[in-house]
Structure 1
């Protein structure tokens, strides 16, 4: 149908522009944060683009529904301002009919959003957590700067000075936190350290010269003291620990389903299942909120409509938080979506419902 092709083309092109603009804004803010971390020595600049790429699907989960809604509002608003809607209504095509014509396109956006929430975003977050954890440990000596304490994973490192190739360090202080409770922390003081190249191994192998090693038991006065002439240590990168178990947003959908009785897991599961349906709510709200006169302009109701749609997203996020604490159940997700959908349907039909309500009121008074 010509009208459907025309609308789909307009909505998709406008939505892509809006999503691209919002993505650039969000990525710009994130890049500033990551550059700040790199400037402080907490992050290697070589992994910045990888981190941003892995986090991009997570950003799109919130950007895509908003961009789609703004695209719909701009297209429908232009139809009213250019009086194309009046021509369509005169031809027997109402705004509700136009919305029905856009259902297949909305379903396509829903599928894309569901792919992001269920598979692509969790995969990207798993890669991000793995990269961040591995890099923070591996790059412990890479990030060392003279006369500054650098924390990298379980290690805290200090060097009085270092060579230009970052392989020879002077006046070394190294503190390693114990991996398991009850095990001692290790503190090493050395006059010099030399890094050893070990092929493609991600670990840092270091030869320490003329120093002392202390094993300290936290919350006790117990410790051991050893002096050495040379001592080789290996700062391991934790390849097996993909991500922390508490980071449920990076867990695969299958694993979430297996442990869905956990409140934190069920909140993430509900978020992935129900959030994509915000696309259909966006279409319903657009029909209700986009109507303007040519004199008003298509931007008159855009900002209030964005606030309405954003309030729905904020409520969904609030439900996710409350649900993770075990205060409410998964039913809250569809309840919010249905509330906004029903409100949008009623508001879009106000011109038909108002005379009926008026007659009912007059009948009751008489």
Structure 2
């Protein structure tokens, strides 16, 4: 029991540290992407952390298996390097016994991954889709930040407002620059610039929104050219485009698992199998990690780390590729992901029993040669 607690603590502590680092890296990259959308006016800055919170279960369901895999490699690699595993082996600790003890924390991680993939992740995706739908209903006016130039329409339109009322109704010191194209959109035309002392938003009966500018000028063309025009106006209406928020999730990812069971759709059945594959992934990577963590103290603890990571990436890449093939009907849904799991299960069993078998055969040959 003491050995079990010691090994479990080593694995879980290393798992927590590795998973935390991976989570920070992934969420930082994703947050930068959302932040860029907010800077372009496609997202309200106030919902960024809310979106990240709802996306957290989806990140964790993929991070935890990798964290467990690396945690076993690093924790057990240190024990081999410091000859602690040698002492345990001398007391009768076999590879099979070590694997059985490791499966206990792996089962805990698998239960957590199952909870995430089957329940929390779909719920989080559904909430993200609601937020995105709400953002799609916003306009450039709703996401405008006073005192900052805001780019929309892939950079073809830039809007600026010096001041904005607290209720986001009235603007002051408005500047709008928009690129114009020919009908075939192959050649730029001269830009159009609008400036106004103030402006306010109006909603028409058909739902379209307009920014009504007052006391300003419209400039068409490039200064110095023959076609350059400057028009003074008292009132000018500009239709407000809706920001386009890029979605990284699909509708089926938001479907509750209970609704996927018994569904006839090809994509839905593939999604169900994917969710069930993630907890199974935890047990198989544990089987792979235990023999891969075995190192010679003179070789160093990181000798097998790179090949082990490549093996894990091959496993996950195959699962993702099979998921895409199943959704497109290129593979029979009855085959599913199970052949991939079986393949790496056999690889894990080979790694588990090959080294002891090789040592046993070498010992027998040495005994025969002495005889």
Say whether the fold is shared (TM-score over 0.5). yes
1:252 pairs with 2:256: yes
- Ranges in structure 1 where 5+ consecutive residues have no aligned partner: 174-190, 198-202, 211-228, 237-242, 360-366
Contact 2:141 2:240 in 1 (8 A): no
- Residue number in structure 1 paired with 2:337: 333
3-state secondary structure, aligned to 2:275 = helix
Residue 9 of structure 1 deviates from its aligned partner by 0.7
The CA distance in 2 between the partners of 1:144 and 1:164, in whole Å, is: 9
- Residue number in structure 2 paired with 1:313: 316
Change (3 A) 1:160 1:66: closer
- Residue number in structure 1 paired with 2:286: 283
1:273 to 257, 276, 282: 276
- State the TM-score, normalizing by the size of structure 2: 0.73
The CA distance in 1 between the partners of 2:149 and 2:287, in whole Å, is: 60
Which piece of structure 1 moves more, 163-172 or 262-271?
A: 163-172
Contact 1:270 1:333 in 2 (8 A): yes
* Number of residues of Structure 1 aligned to a counterpart in Structure 2: 311
- Residue number in structure 1 paired with 2:352: 348
The CA distance in 2 between the partners of 1:357 and 1:322, in whole Å, is: 45
Note the alpha carbon deviations across 1:242-268, whole angstroms, 9 max, x for none.
x99952111111222242x22211111
- Residue number in structure 2 paired with 1:71: 71
The CA distance in 2 between the partners of 1:4 and 1:86, in whole Å, is: 16
Note the alpha carbon deviations across 1:84-108, whole angstroms, 9 max, x for none.
1111111111122011012222111
1:84 pairs with 2:92: no
The CA distance in 2 between the partners of 1:205 and 1:76, in whole Å, is: 62
The CA distance in 2 between the partners of 1:284 and 1:87, in whole Å, is: 22
- Residue number in structure 2 paired with 1:21: 21
3-state secondary structure, aligned to 2:261 = helix
- Residue number in structure 1 paired with 2:10: 10
- State the TM-score, normalizing by the size of structure 1: 0.73
3-state secondary structure, aligned to 1:79 = helix
- 1:177-256, aligned counterparts within 5 Å? 194-195=200-201, 246-256=250-260
Residue 168 of structure 1 deviates from its aligned partner by 3.9
3-state secondary structure, aligned to 1:194 = strand
- Residue number in structure 2 paired with 1:48: 48
The CA distance in 1 between the partners of 2:309 and 2:149, in whole Å, is: 50
Change (3 A) 1:206 1:286: same
